Amino acid sequence: MDTTLDDPLVGQTLDGRYRVDARIAAGGMATVYRAVDTRLDRVLALKVMHPALAADGAFVDRFIREAKSVARLAHPNVVAVFDQGTHGPYTYLAMEYVSGCTLRDVLRERGALQPRAALDILEPVLAALGAAHRAGFVHRDMKPENVLIGDDGRVKVADFGLVRSVDSVTNTTGSVLGTVSYLAPEQIENGVTDTRVDVYACGVVLYEMLTGSKPHTGDNPAQVLYQHLNEDVPPPSAAVPGLPVALDELVAHASARKPELRPHDAAALLGLALEARAQLSDAELDAVPPQARAGERTSAEDRTGVIPRPVTAHASNPAPLSHTSRLSAPPLPPPPSSPAPRLRRPGVLLLVVGVLLFLGLGTGVWYISSGQFTKVPNLLGKTETEARSRLSEAGLGVKRVDRKFSVSFDKGTVMDTDPPGGKRIRGNGAVTLTISRGPEVVAVPDLKGKPLDAAKAELTSAGLAPGAVTQAFSQDVAQGSVISTDPADGQKRSLDTAVSLVVSKGRPVPVPRVTGLSLDQARSALEGLGLKVEAAPEEVNSPSPAGTVANQSVGAGSQAASGDTVTLTMSKGPRQIPVPNVTGQEAGAARKTLEGLGFTVKVDKPLISFGNTIDAQSVPPGQSAAEGSTIVIRIKGL
């Protein structure tokens, strides 16, 4: 029977744009639909958060914030995020639609894969996760269901719904988000999530691709969690004899129980996977595995969910799953083939109890009477008028309105409520709205005439950032002080905006020509203008007489700032160059020869000459003359 016929969203159009055509899949946190963007006329996937979670304002706020972050992660192996929005009780993501199947579908149908096929799937998955890790994100829910294989063979990673920024991941208390079969030990035990939890999950997925079954199984999720904590993932060759050692080692590296023994992120694991592939022959890569267990049904341990975790090791009961229900625990089943005392930490014991509660294995549900209470609607991102209207429809009032700066919410929209969305309050209660004033802005201070260090300190104190510093001459601003800023003073900018500074070099000093002067003469002339003088350590040959200035580092006529240094290079006098014999040559050839050596040439042509041949030169052949000096050559005549 087509279950989509009973789905209230099928046939609806969200936000006047996305027409929902069919339900594709349902998970623990959201349902995915095939939809059509009627504005752009394209098929896409619409991921709609379950209403129970959509009522939790904090959860929705994080969902929106993280969706925006993932949307910036452009990678060919990541399912693209196009849009995000809210329509009534529905919070959704519009994503790329991948026509094909999931890796879970492939494993159900075929069981174990050939090593080449397993690596062909693993490598693009690691490339996608590596890009996410290097961008600062952790997926946290890697499993075959989240690996999409398109009809064209392209592999894409989906469902970054649990993604977290690497720098925001901490040791959390209260609950663990994820899927039991792929949780890393540190997720289970301490709630710690960093890039290495994705590496661990990929190791488990690789084992499953190579063997057709999961490394840890049990009669219930508690037993699976116990094995994650206490047993290494076995080598795949133990289940499929003949698999190469390189693949055993790759799985062992990725799924090490201690996170410090794993590759630090997916990009590092991708490097190991490529090395492992290079070690295998074509026969090993294409070896057909024996028929493994295919067609495994999706169980509770394959579903993403919130697994309660105790706050302290001595807590008497795990936290309830939500503010609307409490579940009592059944007797705790023993872990598989291991005595109960191996559960070394009380926190682990309570975690197992919490898992059983989460999976509905307990009894005794207690519901708060709904007649006296109502839920605060989710108002984040709504205008003040819309928020007041939604509260009125729910029978609630507005207690007061606060206004605060925010870079995450547009000016005039709701950025917070007290109580938060989804919280139950009495039917005639009132809610405090916090409305965004938009990004906080500050005026650029007037820094003209202030020393550079003082100007930078004032910018920082105002909440702005000192930017690029350039220099310019100024007739009225002291050297080293600010001439102007960009943006100009008085302009309003968001916090941490960089402000460029133009700093005075002082009044310009015209630099005179000092070449040909002695060092003392040149120094006196330059220092008299407020410039500093340095002599270069080596002298050079030049047309200037020996002991005079041959070159100056700041050219004559240029402008310098007071205190600038001009370096003077002293002359050793001109080079002495041997003069060749050019008699008997044509005048043009003789001129070219001498000028090529650095001489100046003058041609003496008598009134009556015989041809154009040189018969005399002013410096005899073999003698030396100063570079640049003039040599006279005479054309033969009467």
Q: How far is residue 199's CA from residue 185's CA, in Å, rounded to a whole number? A: 12
* CB neighbour class for 371 (10 Å; exposed up to 12, middle 13-18, buried from 19): exposed
Which member of 61, 141, 248, 564 is catalytic? Answer: 141
**Angle of helix 195-211 versus helix 103-110 axis, rounded to 10:** 20
Residue indicated by tokens 């005039």: 412
Measured distance CA(363)–CA(357) in Å, rounded: 9
- 253 membership: H or E segment, kind and range: helix 245-254
Which residue is listed with tokens 């398109």? 150
3-state secondary structure of 471: strand
- Burial of residue 37 (number of CB atoms within 10 Å: 0-12, 13-18, 19+): middle
- How far is the C-alpha of 445 from the C-alpha of 436, rounded, in Å? 25
Q: How many helices (H) and strands (E) does the chain have?
A: 16, 33
**555: burial class by Cβ within 10 Å (0-12, 13-18, 19+)?**
exposed
Strand residue runs (E) in 473-623: 482-486, 492-494, 498-504, 508-510, 532-535, 549-552, 559-561, 565-570, 576-578, 600-604, 609-617
Cα dist from 292 to 206, 219, 250, 296, 598, whole Å: 14, 20, 20, 11, 89
Are 21 and 32 in contact, with CB atoms under 8 Å apart?
Answer: no
User: How many residues make up the chain in this entry?
Assistant: 638
Is residue 410 part of the annotated active site? The answer reads: no
Report the run of H or E that residue 282 belongs to, with start and end.
helix 282-285
Residue 219, judged by CB atoms within 10 A of its CB (0-12, 13-18, 19+), counts as exposed
Burial of 295 (0-12, 13-18, 19+ CB in 10 A): exposed
**What's the order of all strands across the beta sheet hosting 397-404?**
397-404, 430-436, 414-418
Structure tokens that stand for 446 in this block: 């007037």
Rg (CA), the chain: 40
**Three-class secondary structure of residue 136 per DSSP:** coil
Catalytic positions are 141
